[in-house]
Homo-oligomer: A and B are copies of this chain.
Amino acid sequence: MPAMKAAILAVGSELLGTDRLDTNSLRLTALLDTYGVELCRKAVIGDSVEEIAAELRTLLSRVGLILVTGGLGPTADDVTREAAALALGRGLSFDAEVLAGIERRFQSLGIRMPQVNRRQAQVIDGAELIANARGTAPGMRLESGGANLFLFPGVPSELEGMLLSYLEPWLAERSSGIGRETAVLKVACLPESAVEERIAPAYDEFGREWITILAKPGEIRLQATAAGPEAERRARLAVMVERLHELAGDAVFTTRNEDTLESVVGGLLRAAGATLSAAESCTGGLLSERVTRVPGSSEYFLGAAVTYTNELKTALVGVPAELLAAHGAVSEPVARAMAEGVRRTLGSDYGAAITGVAGPGGGSEAKPVGTVHIAVAGPREGEVEHRKVRFPGDRERVRSQSAQLALEMLRRRLIAVADAA
């Protein structure tokens, strides 16, 4: 495939409003990058047959690859099928096999297929169908005058399934081997400026445009990019990742894109053959929810006590009422007692505890909103680590950063215990 140019078109009036952006294009762009396809433009158009058809006609005359997302649903405002047929000057026919597949999908869920879903069985003449394992509407690939036009659903999970099963192999087959590739390092609980300072030497060594820092509260993504033939760019990427890891230090918790902090902690617990439980106050279950996002977490996670009231801190994890009376729920002694208590009561090797003021109410001069105490107990009786922090931001940010720091403390504790063994 000679350097192919591509365009992305997202269809949906909701994407022209004031509160939603087309984010599917980012995923598509990454895939195009990998296979050396240059993205020239992307656009968003509302649910109008005429507008979509006009845009498709323009694109068909300008680029070799057109990726359309959205508008394949069952409802009347899903008009991508009609618009593409119009732009290509082709017919749209009812496909009995596609319909049977949609009906089977509904049957397997124990639901009768609503009549509207019949529309999703309409196929443009000459289309190659792309199976949709995660939804009802199939995707389509159409060729016209040397250009390839792909129609995908807009639901991210359905799109993702088709990218992996169809588009990626299709691009790989046509790729000249010259692509771009990005590697990622993830860093927990360090501010962006601190990470930036640490990795500054790498900017000079590799060129500033090849390294990107993306920050969200409590987590930084360092991205290294290399271009060229596969072997060459892989080698360069490996050097970049090693150097960035060296510079950023032990705050890097993974160099695998699919890892999350909770999956890394889970891996360490599994490797240690150890179990975990949690006692949560201000985070209300967020830490446990994150730990159990990981498939198979039942192997090491026993459970948690969400103790929103003081009474439950005593009843469920045995925090002495005197301690609560003397220091208040948001305090170091209570955090430590929660971690030790949940470890003992639930019978796990490690216990993690969070108590704090998430806001917006509940703050005081001594304990302002954002004040959080986190404790990790175990693996041996009486071993407890504690940190007091003051997080900036609103309720959601305070909660998410609290859960993040608890996981990071667990990660470091597990590594330290493993290293000592």
Contacts and interface: CB of A to CB of B under 8 A. Distances in A.
Interface of A: 13-14, 16-19, 21-23, 25-26, 29-30, 33, 39-48, 51, 54-55, 58, 62, 73-77, 109-111, 114-117, 134, 157, 182, 191-194, 196-197, 203, 208-209, 212-215, 223, 278, 280, 283-289, 291-293, 295-298, 301-309, 311-312, 315-316, 346-347, 359-362, 390, 392-397, 399
B390 A110 contact: yes
B302 A285 contact: no
B309 A303 contact: yes
Given A302-B309, A312-B346, A395 B213 contact: no
A348 to B, nearest CB: 10
9 contacts: A19-B212, A21-B21, A47-B209, A73-B192, A114-B191, A116-B197, A285-B304, A298-B309, A303-B307
User: Chain copies in the assembly?
Assistant: 2
Contacts of A77: 208-209, 212-213
Nearest to A43: B43
Contacts of A13: 209, 212
A29 B16 contact: yes
B46 A41 contact: yes
A43 B46 contact: no
Chain A interface helix/strand/loop/mixed:
mixed
Given A19-B223, A40-B51, A41-B46, 16 more contacts: A19-B214, A41-B51, A43-B44, A47-B209, A114-B196, A284-B291, A285-B286, A285-B289, A285-B292, A285-B304, A285-B306, A298-B308, A303-B305, A303-B306, A306-B306, A315-B346
Nearest to A197: B114
Contact of A295 (B23, B297, B315, B361): B361
B312 A308 contact: no
A289 B292 contact: no
A23 to B, nearest CB: 7
Contact of A394 (B157, B297, B306, B399): B157
A397 B109 CA distance: 15
